[in-house]
Structure 1
Amino acid sequence: ARTGDDEEDASSQRETGGGSLERIYSSTPPELRLHLAPPNANAASPLRVFVVLDPLGKDAQRLPPLIRMMQEELNAEISLVLRPQRLVARPLGGYYRASAVAPAPPGGLAALGHWTGGAPLLRMELPPRRGQLLSAQLLAPEAWLCSPVESGGADLDSLPADAPSGSVGAKVKVHYVLEALFLEGFAEEVIAAGAHWQQYGRPAAGRQLALVPLGGSSTSAGADSVVVKSGYFQLRQSPGLYRLSLRSQNQEQLLRPSGLVQLTDLAGRGSSLEARVGQVQGVAALQHSDHPAPNEASESFEGIGGDPYVCNETLHIFSVASGLRYERLLRIMMLSVRTTTKCPLRFWLVENFLSPSFRRLLPGVAKSVGFAVSRVTYKWPAWLRPQTQKQRVIWAYKILFLDVFFPAQVKKVLFIDADQIVRADVRELWDTDLHGRVYGMVPFCGSGPPASLASNIWKSLSGNGGADDLRNPETAGFRFWEQGFWKGHLRGQMYYHISALFIVNLEAFRSTGAGDTLREVYQSLTGDPNSLANLDQDLPNYVQQT
């Protein structure tokens, strides 16, 4: 409650603030300001909006559609001031257009069944730019998982900006669909004593939660997730009604939520869920009747193919590719693994970057070659510093979310870069004894301590004990691990590893919180935009002794 004096002070502050904004607007040169009157002069204007905008800033293309919407829909009065900033780099690297999605009708799931949900066609006509390549990217609401399903065969990562009019590539039509909604939340540990909950006040890290459809089981990757160190978890499913289920081998139950989880909000704001996990004193260690344990047998992610008389264990291969060129290389890599490996195979691909044509080809390729395939994704958490360049985003997805990408049943995964050809049975790598460590990675030749295996190999090949004899002097400037920061960090006692081929013990990775460590160090180092030049390699090499 406010007193009369409080109201007068607040009114005075508002007038002072408004007067200050008025003075800024009126003192701006006429060529750098714009006034938009309310479109309905006969109606009251509930808002007066002052906007200060750098015309070449990164938000300069995104804000005008919002300003226009506020003026047209809310009858707002707009005062716009342009404040150009000194340029230190090329300001704009893309073109942007906005399209408003029709709101979902009221009435919940029943109304959604008759809702088309389409957005109006968005058209962009771009001037030709000689020698430039463009990429198409949809910036959707945070809670949406959207994917392109048709592009007319165009490579959305490599669109020529100088294609002649009427030629292939001069006109590209892309159709996107909303595939699923993300559900985010936080889980904490509690003890239930009768009707009362005693909170520990600590996150339920390491627990595995799943969204199970009514009358079914969660058989799709992404329907279950691991709770990370902060208590944060993330799930995804298509709109509908679900049960949140706890996978636990301990005497624990899911105490909250006790009812159904509704994924029906398509407004783009996202849903946040509070989960509580703990033990009920004096109650048998069974799942709550409202949350039966998922059928583990129906949720196995087994591979197919191979020779059952030689190997029955499924090998899980993880890879990432973006663009038609790398997708061709990915198909070659898959075929080479299948040709040389006798075990059943299941490939895991990050679906964020796959083209529409590759998505259509993938089931047929898997069936004809003889392997199983699953697509995984993870919404970039809002609390984690984002990357803006697509290549760095791909690198980040390759290394930052290994603990939450895969279902709980997957205990180990082997990463193989899309541009490699496999010429031996990868079971040899799969069976490598990691001695309890989370990674098995390949070191660069010549890195590591002087008495290392790599150094001994150099000596045996040279024949006279000189480890440097076989090193090409012309590559000295490119061996960055022997100079600068990395020379001091490795101190000649640690290897610098390449990230093109590595194996991950997911059980150890999850139990030790390695994913949380990687994300924490990433968040700390990326405060400097010049750090982690080779993100997918630099990060695990930096924390290898943590």
Structure 2
Amino acid sequence: MEKTALGKAPKVLLNGYVLDDSGIKSDKIEETIMYEVMKISPTIQRAVMEGRLKDRSNVANWLMEQKDVMPRLNARVLDAPTTKNYLDLTASTPCKASTLTQFGTLTAPQKSQCILEWAKYLQKSEEDITAASTLWVAGDAETAEGRDLFYSALKNLKHSKSTRVTFVMNPADEAQACKPNSITNLIHAAFRLLPRNQAKQFVTKLVKEENVKSFEESKLNIEDLAVGGMNVERFNKEKKQLNCDRIKMEAKFAQDILKLKPSERAIVANGLIVGPLSAEERFIETDFALLDKMLEARGAAQVATHVDKWEIEKNEEKASDMVLRSMALVGKHAVSKKRTWIDLQGDGHSVVKIFADDASKAIIDVATVVDPLSTAAQKVAPILELIGQTVNCDLRIVMNPKGKLSELPLKRFYRYVASPQLQFDQTGSVVASSARFSNLPSKQLLTLSVHAPDAWMIEAVYAEYDLDNIKMQQANPGSWLLRLREGKSKEIYKISNHFNSERTEGEAIRVLIDSFSGRTIRVRVVKNEGMEERSLLSDENEEGIWNSISQTLTREKPEKINVFSLASGHLYERFMRIMILSVMKKTKSPVKFWLLKNYLSPQFKKTLPLMAKEYGFEYALVEYKWPRWLHQQKEKHRVMWGYKILFLDVLFPLDVQKIIFVDADQVVRADLMELMELDLGGAPYGQAAIYFVNFKNSYVPFCESRKEMDGFRFWKQGYWANHLAGRRYHISALYVIDLHKFRQIAAGDRLRGQYQGLSSDPNSLSNLDQDLPNNMIHQVKIKSLPQEWLWCETWCDDTSKSSAKTIDLCNNPMTKEPKLDSAIRIIPEWREYDEEIKKVIASQLSSSEKKQSQEQGHPEL
């Protein structure tokens, strides 16, 4: 640990990269590792693409061979760079202080200027150079720790051609340091009196610890330490003429400007203060090499190259001083933004240029590289137009399309709503921004969707046609309290810390919603004392076969049927009304419908209460904002598929224990209470041929009795045949969910995790709501529902129709018959239900309008 400068244990290294101490705690280690893996992945991907990393290569060894890998990682160096740690070297007037008293009256920049003028430097070469790195090493030469630091700095010069070093004396005992033959005084004299190369060799001998011990014991004298070409007699004579004021002023600088205590050590690297070093801390040769590498990465070599081009004189350190001043100035006022210039070899064919309106004013250069046939280009284009209207800029748009396309990537018409300034009508009211589409194709079926900010929920408030007029609806602003819900969660866990929220008030967190962009907060929980062995996902009281038997014997029958469904567009809303009516026709039990609010039209929401009043059912409109961290779907029907399967654990209140999903285009011919009472055998859901083993859900499998459709049964060949290994492929048109079990085993998290991994591939999850649970069949069992619970003409033969408990209007890939036509043809009662609903709605609307008219005192004529 000492050799590598990793510091105190414990430490965690990932591919040689040291993880931050705060990130290796038990509650953060997984997140930290994922972050580091994501950070290094682009580097590995680029190396594979460029052929530098091959299949046979060892990735860990390849990473260890990179240029930025060091044998020692000193956190003192890596964590030092901040703007506050840079010296102000902007003073340009010559230093006028010749005594300690005069020096004490100077400002901080003036004191730094004096040290800069007085400094004599040691370097590898005897020739004058433009040094990219300037090191001021501060320490006490009368201590072993100070001499060790000086010695390490000198040793590093052997390997660095562009580094220069000087020492700043910071003695604990100035009287001792000022004695004629003190190490401090000898070093000070060597810097001032000897030629550069002689000074370097002589000082190196002086600070070598074995020589110091012999020198202090009078076993060695100056003559013994002298180097070739050094005139010792002359050196001693001139040394006596030097006073100690310069040493005292350097100490004053170290303590006032570098904020060091007497005898403390630090390094000033191109104006950056690294330190103070602790008493037991060693800063060795490889640490100086790391410091040089850090300075190089910050652009020191490039600055030195530019200074050379300016032809500034190298003698008397003028060119090197210019690099030092420049690096200190840039470091002190650096910003995190990065400037990137786009240099084009040619712009005759694939570059669009739009010049600024007013050439007499300051012009901002805006360059954009974009694939013109991408969805991102559709969004970027109006943003660039907005920039051009609000900023005086030269705009260059560089077209960078893909070389080959298997299909046209753009499948949407897009408008970006943003105005350069507010518009007002004649009354002074703000005119609402709007998106306008014109000349749309008349034959294609189009769907309207809105890309809103992550923190916004949107819903349709008025739409005369089957398209959505959208009103942005902000989450309620104000001050909110966030706490753990009463129950098992609060019993086991407590909130330990939180980020991006106001403060903690008892067991709750105060969150202030004060912006249209919303607020993303992070909350961490820890287990309460005595709950370390308890698990939120399993309960010992629910484990074991005897408990399973006892639960079966004592299970209470559900009193209410809960049905979940979703629809978008007038046609599917028409189907859903008929599905609701068919459910109510076949049951005597209370029913509550849970409908996804996000995509329902205003007309449907207006007529739903009328149907509820007529047929005596309850309903609730549920909504959920797709999380920003979960891979987004672009097509509306795929978004709805996602809502159908990915958020079952968060869409419904916790007191809803069991729910049945029924597709909007189904007609129910049996009492759904049978499914509510069905034993799912410990699975979280059951499907028409879809079974989840670790969940409590049931799905129905696809029918296989209509033989003429065998060529369309994709699950019988290729990937699905191998993956299912003889199991049935389940359809998601009807399934039962035990929400208690579903939440208990974190089924939602498992589904979302698998979805996140698969959805980045556009060729996977073609039928998202079905493929996802079937893909997880080995991890999460699916309980198959009896086949009669889902009949569809596409896959099931005609003889099985008579026993069907639900009929689903599956798409037929062979005939491609419209669903409305197939509904009227296949389901005898469908037209009857449709007419009944129309009469009920018309009657209820008429009664409602008549009542409203009478209340307003305007009886109809």
The verdict on a shared fold, with TM-score over 0.5 as the criterion, is yes
CA 1:407–1:75 in 2, change beyond 3 Å: closer, same or farther?
farther
More strand by share: 1
In 1, Cα distance between equivalents of 2:421 and 2:392? 19
Q: Deviations over 1:101-146 (max 9, x none)?
A: 7999xxxxxxxxxx9987323322225x352122222221111111
Structure 2 residue 713 is matched with structure 1 residue 479: yes
Q: SS of the counterpart of 1:243?
A: strand
The size of the alignment, in residue pairs, is 402
Tell me if the contact between 1:441 and 1:503 (Cα under 8 Å) persists in the aligned partners: yes
The one-letter amino acid of 1:498's match is I
Superposed, which structure 2 residues align to 1:264-413 within 5 Å? 264-266=514-516, 268=517, 270-278=518-526, 313-413=559-659
Q: SS of the counterpart of 2:376?
A: coil
In 1, Cα distance between equivalents of 2:653 and 2:743? 12
Structure 2 residue 410 is matched with structure 1 residue 92: yes
Tell me if the contact between 2:351 and 2:396 (Cα under 8 Å) persists in the aligned partners: no
Structure 2 residue 682 is matched with structure 1 residue 436: yes
- 1:196 counterpart residue number: none
Q: Deviations over 1:477-498 (max 9, x none)?
A: 1233332222222222x22222
- 1:136 counterpart residue number: 448
In 2, Cα distance between equivalents of 1:425 and 1:380? 33
In angstroms, what is the RMSD of aligned CA positions? 3.4
- 1:288 counterpart residue number: none
In 2, Cα distance between equivalents of 1:11 and 1:369? 81
1:33 is matched with which residue: 348, 352, 355? 352
Tell me if the contact between 1:146 and 1:178 (Cα under 8 Å) persists in the aligned partners: yes
Q: SS of the counterpart of 1:402?
A: coil
In 1, Cα distance between equivalents of 2:365 and 2:684? 56
CA 1:345–1:241 in 2, change beyond 3 Å: closer, same or farther?
farther
The one-letter amino acid of 1:120's match is S
1:175 is matched with which residue: 463, 469, 474? 469
Tell me if the contact between 1:101 and 1:119 (Cα under 8 Å) persists in the aligned partners: no
The one-letter amino acid of 1:486's match is W
Cα drift, residue 415 of structure 1: 0.5
CA 1:280–1:500 in 2, change beyond 3 Å: closer, same or farther?
closer
In 1, Cα distance between equivalents of 2:439 and 2:670? 48
The one-letter amino acid of 1:331's match is R
Structure 2 residue 495 is matched with structure 1 residue 249: no
Cα drift, residue 30 of structure 1: 5.5
1:53 is matched with which residue: 370, 377, 384? 370
Structure 2 residue 466 is matched with structure 1 residue 155: yes
- 1:68 counterpart residue number: 385
In 2, Cα distance between equivalents of 1:262 and 1:366? 38
CA 1:117–1:12 in 2, change beyond 3 Å: closer, same or farther?
farther
CA 1:338–1:35 in 2, change beyond 3 Å: closer, same or farther?
same
The one-letter amino acid of 2:466's match is D
Cα drift, residue 430 of structure 1: 0.4
The one-letter amino acid of 2:772's match is L
In 2, Cα distance between equivalents of 1:180 and 1:19? 37
In 2, Cα distance between equivalents of 1:103 and 1:243? 36
Q: SS of the counterpart of 1:275?
A: strand
2:362 is matched with which residue: 44, 51, 59? 44
Cα drift, residue 471 of structure 1: 4.0
Tell me if the contact between 1:100 and 1:119 (Cα under 8 Å) persists in the aligned partners: no
- 1:125 counterpart residue number: 438
The one-letter amino acid of 2:768's match is L
From the CA coordinates, give the structure whose radius of gyration is larger: 2
1:425 is matched with which residue: 664, 671, 685? 671
More helix by share: 2
Tell me if the contact between 1:102 and 1:118 (Cα under 8 Å) persists in the aligned partners: no
Unaligned residue ranges in structure 2 (runs of 5+): 1-82, 87-269, 272-294, 307-337, 423-427, 499-503, 531-556, 691-699, 780-861
Tell me if the contact between 1:443 and 1:498 (Cα under 8 Å) persists in the aligned partners: yes
In 2, Cα distance between equivalents of 1:12 and 1:50? 29
The one-letter amino acid of 1:433's match is D
Tell me if the contact between 1:52 and 1:83 (Cα under 8 Å) persists in the aligned partners: yes
In 1, Cα distance between equivalents of 2:455 and 2:429? 19
Tell me if the contact between 1:244 and 1:261 (Cα under 8 Å) persists in the aligned partners: yes
Q: SS of the counterpart of 1:353?
A: coil
Following TM superposition, the consecutive aligned residue runs of length 4 or more in structure 1 with deviations greater than 6 angstroms are 10-14, 101-104, 115-118, 279-282
Q: SS of the counterpart of 2:520?
A: strand
The one-letter amino acid of 2:418's match is A
Higher relative CO (Cα under 8 Å, sequence separation at least 6) belongs to 1
In 2, Cα distance between equivalents of 1:491 and 1:13? 66
The one-letter amino acid of 2:348's match is P
The one-letter amino acid of 1:421's match is V
Identity of aligned residues (%): 39
CA 1:240–1:362 in 2, change beyond 3 Å: closer, same or farther?
farther
Q: SS of the counterpart of 1:241?
A: strand
CA 1:7–1:117 in 2, change beyond 3 Å: closer, same or farther?
farther
